Structure 1
Amino acid sequence: MDKCHPSRKQLFHRFGGAVWRFAIVVVGLFALWPELAQAITISHNDALKVGKRVWQNECGGTISGLTSWNQGEDFASLGIGHFIWYPKGRQGPFEESFPKLVSFVSKRGAKLPTLLLGVGRVRPCPWNSRAEFLQAQNTVEMNQLRRFLVDTIDLQAEFLVARLEAALPKMLAEAAPTERSNVQQQFERLTKTPQGCYALIDYVNFKGEGVLHTERYQGQGWGLLQVLESMHGNSDSGAPDEFARAAKVVLTRRVQNSPVDRHESRWLTGWLRRVNSYSGG
C-alpha cells in the first residue's frame, strides 16, 4: 500500500477549504448521477480471488505477512491490503484504514477478538513501536489477531471492492469537466472483466485514488485517476492491457518527477512487476 499521504493536520491547515469544497462536489455528483453509487458487479468468488492476489502483492500471500510493521514506520500494517493501525495518541501522515476494515467486517457478522473490542470504535494499536510489535509475535493476542485476519480474507476482499466503489465519484469530482466522461468510460471498461476489476482494486489500494493535490510531484499525480485519464480505448477485452501500460507510464513519471533525496528509483522495478500482473504479462 502506498503511504505517501499528508497528515490530516497538514491537510486541514494547508487545504482545509479545498477539502470541504471537494466534499461538496462529491455529494453533488451523487445527486446529479446517482448511478455512480451502484455496486460493482463482481461475484463473491472473483472478489475472493482478487483479494488473494492483493494479499500476494502486499506480503507474499503469507499468514505471517498479515501482521506486519515495516521498518521506519510508526504503525502496524495488517490484513491482505496492509491496512494501517496507529498506536494510541499517534497521528501519522497516512490514513488509518484498519479501524474501517474492522467496522466493515464486524457489521457483516465477523466475531472480533478481544484485542479489537472497543466502546463504539476500534481500540488503538496496543503496541507502541515496531520493537514491541516484533516481541509480541508469539503472544496470545497476536495469534488471535492473525487468526481473525485469516478467517476474514473474504470480507477483507469485499472491503477492497467497497473502497473501489467509493473511488469513482471522488475521481470525477477531481477530474476536469472535459475529462469526466472518459474517466467514467475507462473505469466501466475495466469493471466488465474479472481481470479489469483486479487491476482497479489492486491499484487503488496500491497508489490511491489520485485525488489529493498533496499527492503530486511537479504538479503530476500517480493515482488511479491519472492512469484512467491516460487511457482512451474502447475495447473491454483490451482494457486490462491498456491499463497496465498506462500505469507503467504514470509510475515511471512519478519516479522521474520525485525529489532526488527520496531515491524512488529503487522501488520502480517492483512497482512495474506488480503492474505487469494486471495484463498477465
Structure 2
Amino acid sequence: MFFCLWSFDVKTESFSITEKEIDLIGKKIFINECGGKIENLTSWNVGTDFASLGIGHFIWYPSGKEGPFDEKFPDFLLFLEHRGTELPIWLKDPSKRECPWESRKEFMRNLQSPKMKSIQKLLTDTIALQAEFMVERLQTVLPKILESASNPHHIKRRFFRVAKSPMGLYALTDYVNFKGEGILRSERYNGEGWGLLQVLELMPRSPNSNEPMQEFVTCAVRVLTRRVENAPKERFWLPGWKNRLQTYISDL
C-alpha cells in the first residue's frame, strides 16, 4: 500500500512512501517520545495549560482556553475520521472536542477514568496513523522554512536529498517534532536557532559524499552542541540528544 503524501509546486518534487515505512517511523518516534510506554501517550506537563497526546505530543486545550501553541489533537481526530477510524462515542461530535479536563491536577486525577482509557486505546491503535499525520505536516513545514531561508534554493535541495534517502523521512519528521522548524525568532539563544532550518543551512552546498543522512546527523550534532554552548544549563541533555540523532543512521 502506498500513501502519496508529497507534491510541491516549487519545481515540483514528489515521491511516495509505503505503509511499511510509515509504520517504522511511528514505532521509532513512539520509542523516542514515549519510551515505548502506552501510559506516556497521554500527558500534561507541569506548568502548561493543555494536555499533550500521542507520539507527536498533539496539544489539546480545555474549553475556553487558548495559548501560543497550535492545537493539533482536534485536527488529528478529523484526520482519523477521514481515514475511517472509529472514534470513542464521546469524541464523535466535532463541536464537543475540547479537552474534558480543566487543569493538570484534574487530568492526573482521571488517569484511570473511562475517557482517559479510551483515548489511550485510540492512540495505541493509531501509532502508524499518527506518524502519517506528522509526515504530512512536512508539506506545510517546507514552504515556511523556504520563506525564512536566506538561500531557499539550496535549502530545498538539501531537504529533498535527505527526504529521498533511507530513513530520511523519519529523520525529518522526528527532528521537526523534536526541535522544531527553526523559523521562530523567539526560539533563539544568542541569536542562533536549533531547528530543521539551521541543520539544513549547515549541510554542504556541494555534497562531499553520497551519504546525506550522515551529513544531516553531523550537522544536527553541531547545531545542538552550539545550542548548549549558548545555554550551558542544557548540557545535561546533549548526550541523549546525540543518541537520538544516531537512530537516524543506525538502521542504514
Matched, 1:248 2:221: yes
Distance (whole Å) between structure 2 residues aligned to residue 114 and residue 206 of structure 1: 32
CA shift in 2, pair 1:82/1:169, >3 Å:
same
Separation in 1, partners of 2:56, 2:81: 17
Cα offset for 1:236? Answer: 7.8
Match of 1:156 in 2: 130
* Structure 1 residues 119-130: aligned runs within 5 Å: 119-120=94-95, 123-130=97-104
Identify the range of structure 1 (135-144 vs 208-217) with the bigger mean alpha-carbon deviation. Answer: 208-217
User: SS of the residue aligned with 1:137?
Assistant: coil
State the structure with bigger RCO (CA 8 A, min sep 6), 1 or 2. Answer: 1
Match of 1:181 among 153, 169, 174: 153
Q: SS in structure 1 opposite 2:12?
A: helix
Q: Which residue of 1 aligns with 2:20?
A: 45
Residue aligned with 2:189, SS: coil
What value does the CA root-mean-square deviation take over the aligned residues? 2.1
Q: Deviations over 1:84-103 (max 9, x none)?
A: 11222222332222122112
- Alpha-carbon distance change, 72 to 266 in structure 1, aligned in 2, over 3 angstroms: farther
1:237 is displaced (CA, Å) by: 4.8
From 12, 36, 57, the counterpart of 1:35:
12
Offset at residue 58 of structure 1 (A): 0.4
Q: Give 3-state SS (helix, strand or coil) of 1:226's partner.
A: helix
Residue from 42, 46, 50 that aligns with 1:71: 46
Query: Relative to total residues, which structure has the larger helix share, 1 or 2?
Result: 1
Change (3 A) 1:107 1:220: same
Corresponding position: 1:145 with 2:119: yes
- The answer as to 2:73 corresponding to 1:98 is yes
Query: SS where residue 36 of structure 2 aligns?
Result: coil
Q: Write out per-residue CA displacement over residues 203-237 of structure 1, whole angstroms, 9 at most, x where no aligned residue.
A: 01111111222222222111111101100153785
Paired residue type of 2:110: A
TM-score (norm 1): 0.79
- Indicate conservation of the 8 Å contact 1:115/1:145, yes or no: no
- The 1:70–1:181 alpha-carbon spacing in structure 2 relative to 1, beyond 3 Å, is same
Shift of 1:174: 0.8
Deviations 1:160-217 (A, max 9, x none): 11011221111111101xx222211111111122312211110011111112222222
Specify the alignment match of 1:26 in structure 2: none
Q: Deviations over 1:52-84 (max 9, x none)?
A: 101110011111111112233322111111211
**TM alignment of 1:82-93, pairs within 5 A:** 82-93=57-68
1:216 and 2:188 are equivalent in the alignment: yes
1:41-61 per-position Cα deviation (integer Å, ceiling 9, x unaligned): 321110110111011100111
Residue 249 of structure 2 is matched in structure 1 by 279
| Structure 2: gaps of 5 or more residues | 1-7
* C-alpha separation in 1, matches of 2:238 and 2:68: 22
Q: What amino acid is the match of 2:198?
A: Q
Report Cα offsets for 1:232-275 as digits up to 9, x if no partner: 153785111111111111112122223x7xx3223222222211
Aligned counterpart in structure 1 of residue 139 of structure 2, from 149, 160, 165: 165
Q: Distance in 1 between matches of 2:107 and 2:94?
A: 23
Q: State the secondary structure of the residue aligned to 2:59.
A: strand
- Aligned 8 A contact 1:79 1:149 in 2: yes
Q: Percent identity?
A: 49
Moved more, 143-152 or 70-79: 70-79
Equivalent position of 1:191 in the other structure: 163
Q: Distance in 2 between matches of 1:138 and 1:240?
A: 42
